[in-house]
């Protein structure tokens, strides 16, 4: 049988960037705080529009409400439905209610620390890359004056942080992220919640107010149809960006040969000499990526990727640049 040559998806990076100087298996609070300056270069535009409008206009963001701002004298072109009849009656002159977009929108980070995220053959663990991405997004949100909330989860512990404003919120989030037990005790994962992602998405759905900007940071493995429906439901009333984490070995097997692979607990032998096996392996990853790319398009979400061997800041910049954020 003739196998077609594998064509990489242009949305998945092939360029390897440096990750030198980064602990590949752990994160520290100092390293998370140290990303604050770098976050200034992220083109994250999180609802900073403040425009006075007379009533009858729709907000530019999904589910965003309009806040009452002030009353002024009626001007030609104002929507008559926005007349303030009480002020008009009291002054004898027509007055219009003005509304404005809310000053900020909540930004929510959904960070996956399940066992499969603690894996890498090159660069850093997916969990480390996810934590760095979350820290960059958290600082970007805070620097723009937006409220920050989060849901950090593993198979046996969920940490829910309600949206708060300011550096204190970012530091509290990073402290919870760094101190999550998934970093030090992965033995409980095997006996933990098999439906952790489903329950974490259900909790996120309850926390997210309409108009939120939500970042889902995960490898998106073991997410069933019910969990996926939670994401689709949230996308109806919120803007969702998906940060897809992967290791190069998950995308394609190494050159033909015999390899030993270890997860610190077990060692197995990997035979990559069979081209049929290699092609099936590639197709499995491609199907996984395509599933989420299709879902993101159908639900109006945005999907970006980050490899364990990439510079995380550059990956996010590339992702935001691709969508024209």
What value does the mean pLDDT take over residues 315-325?
Answer: 79
- 187 vs 239, which has greater pLDDT? 239
Q: What is the pLDDT of residue 321?
A: 81
**3-class DSSP string for the chain:** CCCCCCCCCCCCCCCCCCCCCCCCCCCCHHHHHCCHHHHCCCCCCCCCCCCEEECCCCCCCCCCCEEEEEEEECCCCCCHHHECHHHHHHHCCCEEEEEEECCCCCEEEEEECCHHHCCCCCCCCHHHHHHHHHHHHHHHHHHCCCEEEEEEECCCCEEEEEEEECHHHHHHHHHHHHCCHHHCCCHHHHHCCCCHHHHHHHHHHHHCCCCCEEEEEECCCCCCHHHHHHHHHHHCCCEEEEEEEECHHHHCCCCCCEEEEECCCCEEEEECCCHHHHHHHHHHHHHHHHHHHHHHHHCCCEEEEEECCCCHHHHHHHHHHHHCC
Q: What is the pLDDT of residue 60?
A: 42
Q: Mean pLDDT: which of 15-24, 74-83, 158-167 is highest?
A: 158-167
pLDDT digits (tens, 9 = 90+) for 115-132: 999 999 899 999 999 999
Query: pLDDT-derived band of residue 315, with 50, 70 and 90 as boundaries?
Result: very high
Q: Which of 55-59, 145-149, 283-287 has the lowest mean pLDDT?
A: 55-59
Q: What is the CATH number of domain 29-46+104-323?
A: 3.40.50.410
Domain boundaries along the sequence of the chain:
29-46+104-323, 52-101
pLDDT digits (tens, 9 = 90+) for 184-223: 987 766 666 678 888 999 899 888 988 899 999 999 998 8
pLDDT digits (tens, 9 = 90+) for 63-87: 444 556 678 888 776 778 888 999 9
- 47 vs 319, which has greater pLDDT? 319
pTM of structure:
0.77
């Amino acid at each position: 049988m003739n196998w077609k040559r594998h064509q990489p998806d242009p949305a998945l990076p092939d360029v390897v960037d440096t990750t030198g100087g980064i602990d590949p298996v752990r994160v520290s609070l100092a390293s998370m705080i140290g990303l604050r300056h770098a976050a200034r270069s992220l083109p994250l535009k999180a609802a900073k529009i403040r425009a006075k409008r007379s009533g009858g206009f729709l907000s530019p963001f999904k589910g965003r409400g309009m806040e009452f701002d002030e009353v002024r004298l009626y001007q030609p072109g104002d929507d008559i439905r926005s007349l303030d009849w009480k002020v008009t009656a009291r002054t004898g002159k027509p007055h219009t209610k003005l509304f404005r977009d809310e000053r900020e929108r909540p930004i929510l980070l959904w960070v996956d620390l399940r066992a499969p995220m603690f894996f890498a053959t090159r660069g850093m663990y997916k969990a480390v890359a996810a934590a760095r991405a979350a820290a960059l997004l958290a600082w970007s949100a805070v620097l723009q004056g937006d409220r920050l909330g989060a849901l950090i989860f593993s198979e046996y512990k969920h940490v829910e942080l309600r949206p708060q404003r300011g550096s204190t919120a970012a530091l509290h989030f990073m402290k919870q992220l760094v101190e999550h037990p998934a970093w030090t005790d992965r033995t409980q994962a095997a006996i933990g919640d098999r439906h952790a992602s489903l329950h974490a998405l259900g909790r996120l759905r309850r926390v997210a107010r309409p108009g939120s900007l939500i970042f889902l940071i995960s490898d998106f493995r073991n997410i069933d149809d019910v969990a996926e429906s939670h994401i689709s439901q949230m996308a109806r009333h919120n803007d969702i960006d998906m940060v897809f984490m992967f290791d190069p070995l998950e995308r394609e097997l190494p050159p033909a040969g015999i390899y030993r692979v270890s997860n610190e607990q077990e060692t197995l032998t990997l035979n990559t000499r069979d081209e049929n096996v290699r092609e099936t392996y590639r197709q499995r990853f491609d199907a996984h990526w395509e599933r989420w790319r299709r879902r993101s398009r159908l639900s109006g979400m945005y999907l970006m990727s980050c490899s364990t061997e990439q510079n995380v800041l550059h990956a996010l910049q590339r992702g935001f640049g691709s969508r024209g954020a």
